[in-house]
Amino acid sequence: MTMPTNDEMTIAEDLWNYLRLNQEIEPAECILVFGGHDLGVARRAVQLYQEGFADLLLVSGGKAHVSTGSSFPTESDAIVDALISQRVPRENILAERLASNTSENFWLSAELLRDDGLDLHKFLIVQKPYCERRTLATARRRWPSRHVQITSEVVTFADYCARDIPLQRILSMLAGEILRLESYARSGLIEIDEPVPADLVDGAHRLQEAGFNARSISAATK
């Protein structure tokens, strides 16, 4: 396993700081929780529910990133279980179990809400910290008529890296996010306010060249 140098960790923290938006958030009609390998989204969603930001939670995510050995068939099932274990009532939770990428999270969540007769327009999205910027940019393209805010677990880069997620995976995710932002914006798949800074794109390439490339655009990952 490739271990990052101090310089590579500095690059990674710069990417982290850019990818997080730290938005001021307000109450919404629905908390939309995105799936993935990191159950920090469930902890943040519970906190928001308990603080009264919304009564309804919609969890979206298929089986793409269910961790090895998980007893749950989809990302959504793992997150729903975590929510219920923290006393979020099951009747307040909807689950979308098919989405395999960010665009599908929005598309299939909208389909589920429509099928349930729910016409909602104000959403608070809960994502992994480093996915905030790309997810909001995707929302602007996929849900232009809805009011969307985004938040994530409140955690520093150092504390996040001290958890049980391997550094190899974290740095690969950060580099992949930056290069997806740059590529998807250029192709019109997402909508961003300004180009990704060139030094961050260069930093992402440096990380991938150093071996942190599990989330390269060519990789078969979300």
What's the CATH number where 107 sits?
A: 3.40.50.620
- The pLDDT of residue 1 is 63
Last residue of a domain, one of 131, 152, 173: 152
Residue 217 in any domain: the answer is no
Residues 29 and 128 in one domain: yes
Residues 57 and 91 in one domain: yes
Residues 161 and 194 in one domain: yes
- pLDDT, average across residues 185-203: 94
- The pLDDT of residue 119 is 96
- The pLDDT of residue 222 is 39
Residue 112: is its pLDDT beyond 80? yes
Residues 148 and 171 in one domain: no
Residues 67 and 116 in one domain: yes
Share of the chain above pLDDT 70, in %: 94
> Residues 66, 78: contact at Cβ < 8 Å?
yes
- The pLDDT of residue 219 is 47
Which residue, 216, 204, 192, is CA-closest to 13? 204
Residues 68 and 176 in one domain: no
Residues 129 and 31 in one domain: yes
- pLDDT, average across residues 167-189: 95
Residues 140 and 199 in one domain: no
- The pLDDT of residue 129 is 97
Which residue, 172, 176, 219, is CA-closest to 64? 219
Residues 91 and 181 in one domain: no
The number of folded domains in the chain is 2
Residues 6+ apart with CB under 8 A from 117: none
Residue 220 in any domain: the answer is no
Residue 69 in any domain: the answer is yes
Last residue of a domain, one of 118, 134, 152: 152
Last residue of a domain, one of 134, 152, 170: 152
- pLDDT, average across residues 32-54: 95
Residues 204 and 143 in one domain: no
- The pLDDT of residue 220 is 41
- Summarised one tens digit per residue, pLDDT across range 57-97 is 999 999 866 554 468 899 999 999 999 999 999 999 999 99
- Summarised one tens digit per residue, pLDDT across range 136-173 is 999 999 999 999 999 999 999 999 999 989 999 999 99
- pLDDT, average across residues 9-28: 97
Residues 12 and 69 in one domain: no
> Residues 35, 43: contact at Cβ < 8 Å?
no
The boundaries of the domain holding residue 204 are 6-18+157-209
Residues 110 and 186 in one domain: no
> Residues 176, 201: contact at Cβ < 8 Å?
no
- The pLDDT of residue 216 is 83
The overall average pLDDT reported for the chain is: 93
Residue 39 in any domain: the answer is yes
Residue 103 in any domain: the answer is yes
- pLDDT, average across residues 163-184: 95
Residue 112 in any domain: the answer is yes
DSSP of 145-188: TSEEEEEE----HHHHHTSSS-HHHHHHHHHHHHHHHHHHHHHT
Residue 216 in any domain: the answer is no
Residue 81 in any domain: the answer is yes
- The pLDDT of residue 221 is 41
The number of C-alpha atoms within 13 Å of 213 and in the hemisphere containing its C-beta is 9
